[in-house]
Amino acid sequence: MATHSTLGGRALDPHRQAAFWALALGYVPEPGYDWPDGASLVDPDGVGPPIGWLKVEDGMHRSNHQHIDIRVAGEGPWDMAERGRLIHELVPVLVEAGATVVFEVAEEDGTVDHVIMLDPEGNEFCVA
């Protein structure tokens, strides 16, 4: 029997986190999940895991670290130039939505490999 799972996180503002990650991942709000102290997203194609956040008080949301990699070009092998273009296309959209760029990692030839970012509540993630 398969085990199903949800990627869970803690947030000061679960609905802001859900809105940000819905934009970043192309997810949608989970139908029927309407709770003021929590938010949940699902992959509209039913492929990726659900992702949820529960409201916590300041200082408590850092006890469990989460790290999501957004793979803009899907699974490899990749055309690195195209992947770099897709990364540079998405990063400004996420910055506009409240993310912060920490560092861009490039290959020896200068092609971007991934960008390390922080979501609106300071959780690290990568656009790769």
pLDDT of residue 88: 95
DSSP state of 31: T
Q: Give dist(CA 23, CA 127) in Å, integer.
A: 13
For 32-58, write each residue's pLDDT tens digit.
888 899 999 999 999 999 999 988 877
Domains of the chain, first to last: 7-55 (3.30.720.120), 68-127 (3.10.180.10)
| Region 96-118 average pLDDT | 93
DSSP state of 66: -
pLDDT surpassing 90 at residue 66? no
Q: Which two tokens stand for residue 22?
A: 């819905």
Overall size of the chain counted in residues? 128
pLDDT surpassing 90 at residue 96? yes
Q: Can you give the pTM of this predicted structure? A: 0.72
